[in-house]
């Protein structure tokens, strides 16, 4: 299995080289030269552990990695750091099937991929004889940052720099990042939004002069965002796991389609579902749920992607994104792998803020359905589902549920549907608790943790234990224009 760029024809490279490099030199994203097909039956999925499913899926993308090495990565990623042996349990309520992806160390779905990425990175480093220290440079809208920090902190031969929008994440998310220990970690707040952070990180990646400067200091850049194929591929596995659990629990019969609803901003999570479908997993509709920053909804409605619009800070901050980076990979696939066309679209997005797909490409979008929910609707569904079904959702999951309800009303499609639950409600205590009752409005996030704990059975996640009193290790804040200099300051 080899990889090429979305923006230019190049001599295909191996998976481990793509993982190490993170992003192609001209700014394109690495994609498989051909998406693999599953070489097992759906019946087997109901019998396998999460680790076995992850192995059977990832080996198709990473066949260069020896079986024993890949199993080592998987078994060390998905272990006791997750609070359930199931890793990604499927919870059935009266009206929904929730795939809970928040049982890892930072209680958000990014743990599913970022628990394994450091192992894949070090394996790739060894396979390619890379002696330079790997510098993980990443932007986060809230969850990727802490999950990446958790994975790479104190990992020999690596350093990690995380940029986040200073006023664009929840207090809990910010506290999680700023209290990260590890001499190889650096966390910096940016006076700007996530798109500012992400775009500048991409520019730093493409700065060849800067790359050569750091290379002379024995450093090599890579990424922990889902622009890195080593981050994206592990996400494909949990859709197979979800189907296995739906099959095991009698919610589908073998071969019957299931729909998936995915709250998304950067498009990586739902792209992983698209990859699973293309591999042969019986997925019907790919329901893409957005918040008020509904650039993806408008794209699926019109075929035009236009980021020239107001940017909203919402109650679902991990989705506060107007440039959905992973959509570029979908454009590559539905354009017939037309790298010149994709490159032109990405240039138009950068220079004019928008692009339009061709009629042929729109045909490739027919399996997607776009919907959105604003904050008022999001909070209403948190309250509704808790009061009627006893299930407490975080804001991002509530966006997905609201969109799913709209989809049902519009289409009457009764296909069994998995709602992807991307974060624990503990991560967004104020938003969730005030959705339940306005009396919590004047109470801070951290004090609300105990209030929420009274509503949720079981132990409070370790990630939240005494989080308010942990020592702040990272205090730097910068303007967007200062980001590259901050990287230099940390490394040189």
Question: Which neighbouring-strand residues pair with 287?
Answer: 261, 369
Q: Within 10 Å of residue 482's Cβ, how many Cβ atoms?
A: 16
In a 13 Å sphere around the CA of 161, the CA atoms on its Cβ side amount to 25
Separation between Cα atoms, residue 186 and residue 221, nearest integer Å: 14
Helix (H) or strand (E) holding 106: none
Q: What are phi and psi of 348, to 5 degrees?
A: -65, -40
Judge contact between 170 and 446, C-beta under 8 A. no
Nearest of 225, 12, 230, 282 to residue 119 by alpha carbon: 230
Question: Which neighbouring-strand residues pair with 15?
Answer: none
Nearest of 373, 179, 120 to residue 261 by alpha carbon: 373
SS3 322: coil
User: Could you tell me whether strands 30-32 and 2-5 are parallel, antiparallel, or unpaired per DSSP bridges?
Assistant: antiparallel
Separation between Cα atoms, residue 464 and residue 172, nearest integer Å: 8
Separation between Cα atoms, residue 120 and residue 376, nearest integer Å: 41
Judge contact between 402 and 382, C-beta under 8 A. no
Beta carbons within 8 Å of 474's beta carbon, 6+ residues apart: 177, 178, 180, 185, 186, 187, 188
DSSP symbol at 171: H
| Residue 323 Cα distances to 293, 351, 375, angstroms | 10, 13, 20
Choosing from 110, 125, 146, 377, which is the catalytic residue?
110
SS3 104: coil
Compute the residue count for the chain.
492
Annotation says 9 is catalytic? no
Sheet of strand 133-139, all strands in order from the earlier edge strand to the far edge: 219-222, 133-139, 158-165, 185-191, 477-479
Helix (H) or strand (E) holding 484: helix 483-491
DSSP symbol at 267: S
Nearest of 195, 63, 223, 190 to residue 485 by alpha carbon: 190
Separation between Cα atoms, residue 110 and residue 104, nearest integer Å: 9
User: Which residues carry out catalysis?
Assistant: 110
């Amino acid at each position: 299995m080899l990889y090429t760029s979305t923006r230019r024809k190049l001599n295909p490279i191996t998976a481990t080289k793509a993982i190490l490099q993170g992003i192609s030199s001209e700014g394109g994203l690495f994609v498989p030269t051909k998406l693999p097909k599953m070489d097992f039956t759906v019946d087997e999925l109901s019998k396998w552990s999460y680790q076995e499913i992850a192995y059977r899926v990832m080996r198709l993308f990473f066949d260069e990695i020896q079986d024993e090495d890949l199993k080592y990565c998987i078994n060390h990623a998905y272990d006791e750091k997750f609070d359930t042996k199931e890793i990604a349990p499927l919870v059935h309520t009266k009206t929904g099937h929730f795939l809970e992806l928040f049982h890892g160390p930072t209680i958000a779905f990014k743990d599913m991929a970022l628990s394994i990425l450091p192992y894949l990175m070090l394996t790739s480093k060894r396979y390619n004889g890379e002696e330079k220290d790997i510098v993980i440079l990443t932007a986060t809208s809230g969850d990727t940052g802490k999950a990446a920090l958790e994975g790479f902190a104190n990992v020999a031969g690596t350093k990690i720099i995380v940029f986040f929008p200073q006023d664009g994440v929840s207090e809990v998310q910010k506290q999680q990042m700023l209290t990260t220990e590890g001499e190889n970690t650096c966390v910096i707040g940016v006076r700007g939004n996530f798109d500012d952070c992400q775009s500048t990180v991409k520019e730093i990646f493409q700065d060849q002069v800067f790359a050569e400067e750091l290379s002379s200091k024995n450093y090599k850049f890579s990424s922990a965002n889902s622009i890195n194929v080593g981050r994206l591929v592990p996400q494909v596995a949990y859709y197979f796991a979800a189907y296995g659990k739906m099959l095991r629990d009698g919610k589908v019969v073998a071969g019957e389609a299931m729909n998936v609803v995915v709250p998304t901003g950067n498009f990586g999570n739902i792209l992983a579902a698209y990859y699973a479908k293309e591999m042969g997993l019986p997925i019907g509709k790919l329901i893409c749920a957005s918040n008020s920053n509904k650039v993806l909804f408008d794209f699926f409605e019109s075929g035009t992607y236009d980021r020239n619009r107001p940017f909203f800070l919402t109650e679902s901050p991990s989705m506060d994104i107007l440039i959905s980076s992973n959509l570029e990979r979908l454009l590559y696939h539905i354009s017939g792998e037309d790298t010149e066309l994709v490159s032109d679209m990405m240039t138009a997005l950068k220079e004019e803020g928008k692009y339009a797909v061709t009629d042929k490409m729109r045909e490739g979008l027919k399996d997607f359905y776009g919907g959105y929910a604003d904050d008022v609707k999001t909070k209403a569904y948190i309250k509704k589902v808790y009061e009627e079904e006893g299930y407490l959702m975080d804001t991002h999951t509530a966006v997905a549920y609201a969109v799913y309800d709209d989809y049902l009303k519009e289409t009457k499609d009764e296909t069994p549907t998995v709602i992807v639950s991307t974060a624990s409600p503990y991560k967004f205590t104020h938003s969730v608790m005030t959705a339940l009752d306005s009396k919590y409005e004047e109470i801070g996030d951290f004090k609300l943790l105990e209030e929420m704990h009274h509503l949720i059975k079981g132990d409070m996640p370790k990630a939240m234990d005494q989080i308010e009193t942990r020592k702040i290790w990272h205090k730097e804040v910068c303007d967007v224009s200062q980001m590259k200099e901050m990287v230099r300051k940390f490394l040189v």
